[in-house]
């Protein structure tokens, strides 16, 4: 029996339009999801499809308000017993942030798969049709149920927790780094190799939370000679701050001294601008334990986790625990 899959479109390059045949210099979010499906006629042999055009934007215009709306929309379809899985088309620039937010906040275990493309629909060799085809195939798979939010690009299955964009130009634009992918796609065949062991969707501490807004969290990027005034400004105008430090979340002595003064009144997370590795507590750069380590999270994912944590609690030790378990 064919399954029922809902495709929620948000725009992005997969819905982009430019000069015929050209892969660059295009406008994202110009083509409707119905028109995209017409370019993949065989996709309707995989499942009964329902399409929803939530928005049609460049993913750089995705914001917290749209995250919440998308989460609520997915949860509404997830509560429908006739829906077997959900696919979200999304721009690649901020897809990893949306995937991470959904992975932490959805309240059901239905397959939810994000995908998109690096070339617009009008390009001579657009990658969107195959990515969308494989995303629908993955959403139909029983193996994807309970696996958390997933993403499919270039025949590869990624977790919403760990996916990150690693190339600004190639069609194979994503990676998970040392953690490895969850598996592969061979046309419509699903091959899982591993699963994430961290809390996800209905097992997440944020699943089912009533979310109408998110606290304001900013990211301070450390570089040689960085002005400590940046920290004052961000702490004054934000509920929390994530530091994108060098190395394993490091920064200069002037920042270290000033952070010690600020940390008693503000929530500060130490992350790293380095793509690989992990940030632990540091007796050298944070001897008083003023900050919360981001562990494996990038600065922008640490920002999302801190926003959700601050929505749940203002207890510093509990926030520290949430970073350790998520």
Catalytic residues: 13
How many angstroms separate the Cα of 232 from the Cα of each of 49, 169, 238, 304? 50, 36, 10, 21
183: left (phi over 0), alpha (psi -120 to 50) or beta: left
Across the chain, the runs of DSSP E, i.e. the strands, are: 3-11, 17-18, 26-27, 47-57, 85-89, 112-115, 149-153, 156-159, 164-165, 174-175, 183-186, 189-192, 217-221, 240-245, 267-272, 292-293
Gap between the Cα atoms of 148 and 108, Å rounded: 9
Runs of H (alpha helix) within 27-147: 33-38, 64-78, 95-105, 128-139
């Amino acid at each position: 029996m064919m399954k029922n899959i809902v495709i929620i479109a948000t725009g992005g390059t997969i819905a982009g339009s430019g000069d015929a045949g050209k892969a660059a210099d295009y406008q994202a979010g110009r083509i409707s999801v119905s028109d995209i499906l017409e370019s993949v006629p065989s996709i309707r042999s995989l499942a009964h499809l329902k399409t929803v055009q939530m928005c049609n934007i460049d993913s750089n215009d995705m914001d917290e308000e749209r995250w919440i709306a998308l989460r609520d929309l997915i949860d509404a379809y997830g509560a429908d017993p006739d829906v077997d899985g959900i696919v979200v088309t999304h721009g690649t620039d901020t897809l990893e942030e949306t995937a991470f937010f959904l992975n932490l906040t959805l309240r059901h275990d239905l397959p939810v798969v994000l995908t998109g493309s690096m070339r617009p629909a009008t390009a001579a060799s657009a990658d969107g049709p195959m990515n969308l085809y494989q995303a629908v195939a993955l959403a139909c798979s029983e193996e994807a149920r309970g696996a958390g939010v997933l993403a499919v690009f270039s025949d590869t299955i990624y977790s919403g927790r760990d996916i990150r964009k690693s190339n600004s130009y190639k069609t194979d634009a994503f990676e998970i780094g040392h953690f490895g992918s969850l598996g592969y796609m061979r046309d419509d065949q699903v091959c899982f190799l591993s699963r994430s062991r961290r809390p996800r969707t209905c097992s997440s501490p944020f699943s089912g939370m009533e979310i109408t807004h998110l606290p304001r969290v900013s990211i301070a990027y450390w570089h040689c000679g960085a002005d400590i005034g940046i920290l004052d400004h961000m702490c004054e105008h934000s509920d929390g701050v994530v530091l994108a430090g060098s190395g394993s979340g490091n920064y200069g002595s002037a920042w270290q001294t000033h952070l010690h003064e600020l940390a008693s009144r503000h929530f500060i997370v130490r992350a790293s601008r380095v793509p690989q590795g992990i940030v632990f507590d540091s007796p050298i750069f944070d001897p008083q334990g003023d900050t919360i380590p981001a562990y494996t999270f990038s600065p922008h994912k640490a920002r999302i986790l801190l926003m959700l944590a601050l929505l749940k609690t203002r207890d510093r030790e509990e926030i520290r625990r949430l970073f350790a378990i998520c």
